Amino acid sequence: MDKIVIQGGARLSGEVAVSGSKNAALPIMMASVLTPEPVIIRNLPRLRDITTALTLLNHLGVEHRWIDDHALELCAARIKSHEAPYDLVKTMRASFFVLGPLLARTGRARVSTPGGCAIGARPVNLHIRGIRSLGARIQLRHGYVEAHAERLVGTRIWMDNPSVGATENVIMAAALARGRTALENAAREPEVQDLARMLNAMGARISGAGNHVIEIEGVERLHGADHTVINDRIEAGTLMVAAAITGGDVVIRGACAGELEATIAKLRESGVEVASAAGGLRVRRHNIIRPIELRTLPYPGFPTDLQAQMMALLANAEGTSVITETIFENRFMHALELLRMGADIAMKGPTAVVRGVPRLSGAPVMATDLRASSSLVLAGLAAENTTEVQRVYHLDRGYEALDSKLRALGARIERVPDRGAS
C-alpha cells in the first residue's frame, strides 16, 4: 500500500483540469444493463470505484471495451447472472444501484445489501420502498434483496428524503415500466440530471430531473447511446480549496460555476476570490481566511462531499467557524486526524466548532474514507513540515491522480510505498 508524503507550505499556482464525475459515472455504467445494445461512456475517470463497477458488470455478463483511456463501450447483449454478490457490494455501495436496471431488464435481481459504512448507517430502505412501489415483489433474505417482477408498473412515489442513490435506482427501474411514474421529493443533484440525460439518449422519456418532481413515462425498450459524463464538481471543489488553503492562484479548467454555487459562496465568505476564467474558475487568496458558518444540505445546498475539505481550510482561519453536517451522522472522522495536526475542533452531535490556529503542524495521519483523505492532503499542503497520509486507497477510489495534479501546481507531494502498512 502507498502513502502520500507532503512538505507543506508551497503556494499553488497554474492550471489544472477536472476529471469526469465518479458519482455520475457509476449509475450511468449501471444503466448499460437496461439495453442489449452497446453504450459508449466518455469522460470516465480512471478510478478504483470505476474498476469495481466494471467487475460487477462483467460478473453480470456485460462485455466491455476501452475505446481510449477515458472512453468505454459496454454491451449487455446477454445477462448471465442476476446477482450482485456481497464481496462487490461491500467494497462499493454504489453496486446496489444495479438493482433497478437489472430487475427492469430481466424481471429478477438478487443484490446484496451494503451493510455499514464509515460515514453513517446509510440504509437502503428508500431504494427498496421505491422499487416495491413499482410493483416488484421484494424479500430480504440471507443479506440479499431478492426482487421479482414480470413488468414494473409506473406509479406515484414520495421519497421521505431526497436520496441520490434511491432516485437513481428508481428512475432506472421506471424507465422500462408500464405507464407513468412521478417521483416526488427526488434528489436534484447534477449527477441525477446526468443519468437522466444518458437514459433519455437511450430512448427513455424522463422529464424534470433537477427539480423536486421527476416524471418518467415508461418505454418498451431502450437502445444504445453515446454519452459524455459531466465533470466532477467535488474534485473541482477540492482543487478550489487546495488553491485557497495555500494562498495560491489556480485556474481550474472544467469547473462548472452553476454546479458549485454554494461552494463558491462559502469560499468567498471566507475571504477567497473566485472568478470565472476561460473554461473554468480562477481561485485566489491574498488575505486571511475568515471564519464562517457552514451547513451541509442536499443539492443545491453545500455538499456533504466537500465538508471535510472545508474543515481543513477553516482549521487555518482567523476565528471560530461552525460546521453542521446534516446528511451523514458520522462524517467527522477527519476531525480526529486534524486534531493530531494541531487543529482546534470540538464536536457535539452533528456540529463541529472549529477554532482556527495560526499553522497546522505536519503529522502522520490516516483516513477512513474518501473525502476524509482529501481533507488530510489539503491540511498537509498548508501545514509546517511533513504530513504523511496513510491508507491512500481511499483517495484512489474517487480522485484521478490528485497527487500528480497537485504536484503540477507546485505542491511538494509524492506517493511512496508504505512499508509500515499492515
Which residues are catalytically annotated?
Answer: 117
Alpha carbons 175 and 169: distance in angstroms, whole number = 10
State yes or no: residue 100 binds ligand EPZ (CB under 6 A).
no
- Here's the x/- map for ligand EPZ, 215-244, by CB under 6 A: it reads as ------------------------------
Alpha carbons 216 and 178: distance in angstroms, whole number = 10
Alpha carbons 155 and 151: distance in angstroms, whole number = 13
What is the sign, positive or negative, of the torsion defined by CA atoms of 178, 179, 183, 188? positive
Pairing state of beta strands 386-390 and 364-366? parallel
> Which of positions 191-210 make contact with ligand EPZ (CB under 6 A)?
191
State yes or no: residue 305 binds ligand EPZ (CB under 6 A).
yes
State yes or no: residue 99 binds ligand EPZ (CB under 6 A).
no
Q: Of residues 94, 109, 186, 360, which one binds ligand EPZ by CB under 6 A?
A: 94
State yes or no: residue 391 binds ligand EPZ (CB under 6 A).
no
State yes or no: residue 122 binds ligand EPZ (CB under 6 A).
yes
The answer to whether 43 and 22 are in contact (CB under 8 A) is no
Nearer to ligand EPZ, 223 or 295 (CB): 295
Alpha carbons within 13 A on the beta-carbon side of 50: 27
State yes or no: residue 169 binds ligand EPZ (CB under 6 A).
no
What is the residue-wise DSSP string for 363-390?
-EEE-SSHHHHHHHHHHHHHSBSEEEEE
Nearer to ligand EPZ, 110 or 371 (CB): 371
State yes or no: residue 114 binds ligand EPZ (CB under 6 A).
no
Residue nearest to ligand EPZ (CB): 165
* Least distance from ligand EPZ to the Cβ atom of residue 292, Å: 21
* Least distance from ligand EPZ to the Cβ atom of residue 373, Å: 10
Beta bridge partners of residue 223, listed in sequence order: none
State yes or no: residue 398 binds ligand EPZ (CB under 6 A).
yes
Q: Helix, strand, or coil here: 226?
A: strand
* Least distance from ligand EPZ to the Cβ atom of residue 75, Å: 23
Cα→Cα distances 134→124, 155, 197, 324, 342, Å: 16, 6, 22, 35, 52
State yes or no: residue 90 binds ligand EPZ (CB under 6 A).
no
Long-range contacts (CB closer than 8 Å, 24 or more residues apart) made by 403-408:
403/4, 403/377, 405/16, 405/17, 405/239, 406/12, 406/242, 406/377, 406/381, 408/14, 408/16
State yes or no: residue 126 binds ligand EPZ (CB under 6 A).
yes
* Least distance from ligand EPZ to the Cβ atom of residue 202, Å: 20
> Which of positions 29-88 make contact with ligand EPZ (CB under 6 A)?
none
Per-position b or e across 208-227, b if 16+ CB within 10 A of its CB: bbeeeebbbebbeebebbeb
State yes or no: residue 282 binds ligand EPZ (CB under 6 A).
no
Chain residues binding ligand EPZ by CB under 6 A are 23, 26, 93-94, 120-127, 161, 163-166, 187, 191, 304-305, 327-328, 370-371, 398
